[in-house]
Amino acid sequence: MPGRLTPRRPGPQRRSGRLRATALGAALATVFVPALSACAGDAASAGGAATLKWTSTYFPAHWDPVVGGSGAQFRELSLVYASLTRTDATGKAVPDLAKSWEYNDKGDRITFHLRPGLKFSDGEPVNGAAVKAAVERAQKQKNSALFGDLTSIESVTAEGLDAIVHLNQVDYQIPQLLGQRVLQIASPKAAAAPEKLDQHPVGAGPFTVTQIVPGTKAVLRKNPDYWDAENIHIDNVELTSAPDAATVVSGLQTGVYNFADIDPSQADAAKKAGLDVFVQPGFNASNISLNVNKAPFDDDRVVDAVRHAVNRQEFVDKLTFGYGEATNQPFPKGYVAYDPQSEDAYPYDPAKSRKLLAEAGYRAGDIKLDLVIPQEDPQAEIVQSQLAKVGITVDIRIDKNWATPFFAKDLTFSLYSTTGRDSAVQTLTAHFGPDGPLNLSSPYEPEGFEAAVAKVRETPLDAPAYPEVLRAATRAGLQSRALVFTYSSPNLVAKSKSVSDLPKNPAHIDWTGVTIGGEGATP
């Protein structure tokens, strides 16, 4: 399967049992901590060092990017690891470790030219051989969560600072693909012992790790050898695992943290506490996954009934407190791959839904479905409630081993949330392709999708026709009967005013130019 896309569950119930158990403590903290806040200073500026104190719901369980995959934790891993390319505010690939790249005339070979003089934090050089090792490890390591993303790559050859990527098809998406989500590059020397790398990351990113307490805390300091070190103004990073939604705001108020991803339910409290609250752009999209190889979804009319039964705005209002966005696509509005023509396909129309079910021969209550999910998720309750209104009975079943039947395509009905990919084509094939890990109906694919995707791959990223070709592929993919997209969960962040604004990059959290307690901080 290609990269694991970490399900992003909205609302407080997405917290694990462990986190819930701290909730009482949170309540007490809510009462007592503000009283103590007056005593707290801005530790971030203590000693003159700018320290980012980031608490995150997605504290990495694995620090080996090959194992961690392209789930939400890649954002934290990007503190340590750099990649060949990164994306700019429009989502377009721009240089990172590679200063430039070029395709051959045919489009089936790409050469990345690496910046000279770079080294990993263990002193190993950043060169073509390191890139080759990284790609091969992602393709071959037994526990790799990325091998499915690299199927276009036949081989890599190294020539000094050049990494030549040989493809098995024409594919102009490679610069997009080999960004933060899919190819964070680790030192080949450190990666020779993957188990050790998993707990002691060694990369060439903006920071180096000085201490890790597994599952709890990581301490990092600025990497002076990072290629863009002059634009990194943060000296130290203290990354911690967020204890509970209700404690985060108190922690921000008292200076325990100065940056945190927060649950939408806490946004008002954070604003009232005088914190900066903003939505960092992202590629998040949640969907209802249907298996059209199994009854009742083998009947197109039932699938259409589900499509018309979904009230997307209810997800946005109740789960994201209005900070998210209703979407019927795996891309946010305004992104190059978002297809405006498909925007109003299958609008919310419960009457039409009931009519379609009647045409298919189903009376109210005839269809009974198990909605299988890995953990408690308010999304499921909304789906249950909305389908009940059109006469479909849904039982929510929590299966801790959900991943096995889901990726084996054994389930009939489930939910999934993705953080997306830097490459729009990768997002499309993951959802709609015949072998896409998020296509619960494999090997089914919508008609014309394969040709549309091939056309995108064959279109250079800077070609004038590229946006329209890409949107056409999105349009073809959205004909899939296997997925009903519902809403985009917000990357909601609260930060101290001492931390300056972040670049609005939809693909990852970019610390370039961010200051703490200095110029650029919100007054």
Partner 1 sequence: MVRRVLALTSGRVAVAVLTVVALLAVLGPLLAPQDPLATSDHPLAGVSGAHWLGTDYLGRDVLSRLLDGSRVSVLGALEVALTALVVGVVPGILSVYLGRAFEWITLRLADTLVALPFLLFAVAVIALLGNGLTQAMLVTGVLVSPLFYRVSRAATLAVARSQYVEAALISGASVGWVVRRHVWSKVLPPIAVAFAQTIGTGFVIVSSLTFLGIGVQPPEPTWGGLLASDLGYLAHRPWAPLTPALLIMVTVWAGNLLADAIRDVSGEAGRALLKGRGARTGRTEPTEPAPAGGA
Q: What x/- string results for residues 174 through 213 when contact with partner 1 is judged by CB under 8 A? A: ----------------------------------------
Among 37, 151, 375, 515, binds partner 1 (CB under 8 A): 375
Span of 14-22, 87-95, 335-343, 453-461 interacting with partner 1 by CB under 8 A: 14-22
Shortest gap between Cβ of 487 and partner 1 (angstroms)?
15
Among 8, 15, 53, 181, binds partner 1 (CB under 8 A): 15
Shortest gap between Cβ of 369 and partner 1 (angstroms)?
14
Given the structure tokens 């203290």, which residue do they identify? 238
Query: Residue 397 burial (CB < 10 Å; 0-12/13-18/19+)?
Result: middle
CA-CA-CA-CA torsion sign (184, 189, 190, 194): positive
Shortest gap between Cβ of 246 and partner 1 (angstroms)?
5
Among 5, 26, 134, 150, binds partner 1 (CB under 8 A): 26
Q: Which is nearer to partner 1, 28 or 451 (CB)?
A: 28
| Cα–Cα distance measured from residue 387 to residue 165, given in angstroms and rounded to the nearest whole number | 48
Distances (CA, A) of 56 to 53, 217, 261, 302, 303: 10, 10, 6, 40, 37
Residue 217: closest CA among 236, 194, 193: 236
| Cα–Cα distance measured from residue 483 to residue 228, given in angstroms and rounded to the nearest whole number | 41
Shortest gap between Cβ of 382 and partner 1 (angstroms)?
7
Query: In which order are the strands placed within the sheet that holds 51-56?
Result: 207-213, 217-222, 236-241, 51-56, 259-261, 491-495, 276-280
Residue 517: closest CA among 35, 47, 34, 40: 47
Number of residues that bind partner 1 (CB under 8 A): 38
Among 198, 263, 445, 510, binds partner 1 (CB under 8 A): 263
Among 228, 349, 381, 501, binds partner 1 (CB under 8 A): 381
Residue 85: closest CA among 211, 162, 182, 214: 182
Q: Which is nearer to partner 1, 13 or 515 (CB)?
A: 13
Q: Check if the beta carbon of residue 56 is closer than 8 Å to that of residue 261.
A: yes
Helices 378-388 and 312-319 cross at an angle (nearest 10°) of 140
Please name the residues in contact with 256: beta carbons below 8 A apart, sequence gap of 6 or more. 53, 55, 250
Q: What x/- string results for residues 325 through 354 when contact with partner 1 is judged by CB under 8 A? A: ------------------------------
Shortest gap between Cβ of 242 and partner 1 (angstroms)?
13
Residues of this chain, 28-67, that bind partner 1 according to CB under 8 A:
30
Span of 101-109, 136-144, 261-269, 481-489 interacting with partner 1 by CB under 8 A: 261-269
Shortest gap between Cβ of 398 and partner 1 (angstroms)?
5
Shortest gap between Cβ of 18 and partner 1 (angstroms)?
9
Span of 21-29, 82-90, 204-212, 233-241 interacting with partner 1 by CB under 8 A: 21-29
Chain Cα centroid distance, residue 31: 34
What is the SS3 assignment for 195? Answer: helix
Q: Check if the beta carbon of residue 362 is closer than 8 Å to that of residue 390.
A: no
Q: What residues line the site for partner 1 (CB under 8 A)? A: 11-13, 15, 17, 20-21, 23-24, 26-27, 30, 245-246, 249, 263, 265-266, 268-269, 314, 317-318, 375-378, 380-382, 384-385, 395-400
